[in-house]
Chains A and B, each alone.
Chain A
Amino acid sequence: MNDENDPGPAGRLGNQAPGPVPREWLPEAMPPEGHPVWELKVARIMATAGAELGRLADGAGASRASWLSEMGNWWRPAAALAAAALALLATVDDPRSASPAIPPQAVSLGLIVADGNPTALWAALGVPADPVLAILVFEDHAAMAAPAGPVRPSGGGIQ
């Protein structure tokens, strides 16, 4: 490459694998952490950030306020609906407490209401019935179809 004793800075690189480039050839490094210059730069940046910080603070406050007002907007109709529902419940009778008016033809409904008690069923149909006879007659479809009247002892009917 040359005949000089000192090949110069670049010549000293040789053919070695790329290790670090000599420090004195590189750009100046930044001052280290903790150097006063960084405090000055921080102060400068903070001075310019004031307006933007204010906007963020205002935005955060406004969004909190708008969240509350939004909740208020939803709570007012919701509370009105709840009050109306309570008023309805208070004024309307409980349908379960009302006694059903069973038409004579509604035998199946009568059976449900009678809860398996044929006497009660006959009573619902307006027929006074003997507890024992009522069971026997109930099994007789012809008797069921017959108009209201005193239930006859069915001594022969069973045969």
Chain B
Amino acid sequence: MAGGESGGQAAGEGPGALPDEALAQRVRAGDRQSLEELVRRYVRPVHVVVASFLSEPDDVDDAAQETFLRALRAIDRYDMRRPFAPWIYQIARNVARNQLAALTRRRTEPFSLEGPEGSDPTPDQEAERAEIRARVDERLAYLPEQRRTAFRLVDVEGMAAEEAGRIMGISPGTVRSHVHHARRALREALWEYVDVTRDAGGRE
């Protein structure tokens, strides 16, 4: 997030030099350039956050777009004294959660269980990797929200704990703790998986 810093810059400069909160204030007056700058800063983090709930790229895009629209509609209620990142993160979470609930109702099956399992035959290594990914997706879906998002931001997207914490509105230490627990949960899930497949393989 290149422009996400909230440091104080001269208010007379272009939108790119302004902190998020000042941009939000301008958006409140209908300033298009400021909105575009905010969207540019947060389009990737918002996609990452909603992707920690939703697996289909189209669903992720829709949820991200809805997040920005909701933020725009609620910009009058945004408290300028508070940092912008956790505010939009909270909106993204709510949007993704609602969309996930709607999708789950529509599909009447648990989130993210349809993976590459059973797809075209591939070399053994490739198949194993695909199965593990499906298992990882499934396990991630059952992690608590904060833990899942922190893991997604840090381990999947490669963000520093400080940056992830700024977006989520929590301390870097808490982010690290979430990531630690998520890793442990994934490893446990993978151990179980390995045992099952080896048993199955032995029976074949």
Contact = CB atoms under 8 A, between A and B. Distances in A.
Contact of A26 (B40, B61, B155): B155
B44 A33 contact: yes
Interface residues of A, number: 36
A29 B133 CA distance: 13
Contacts, number: 113
Contacts of A25: 129, 132-133, 136, 190
B51 to A, nearest CB: 7
A41 B187 contact: no
Overall SS of chain B's interface: helix
Q: Is the interface of A mostly helix, strand, loop or mixed?
A: helix
Given A42-B43, A45-B65, 19 more contacts: A7-B194, A8-B194, A9-B129, A9-B132, A10-B194, A13-B190, A25-B133, A26-B136, A27-B51, A29-B157, A41-B47, A41-B64, A45-B39, A45-B69, A46-B32, A46-B35, A55-B30, A56-B27, A58-B30
Interface of B: 1-2, 27-30, 32, 35-36, 39-40, 43-44, 47-48, 51, 55, 61, 64-65, 68-69, 72-73, 75, 128-129, 132-133, 136-137, 140, 152, 155-158, 180, 183-184, 186-187, 190-191, 193-194, 198
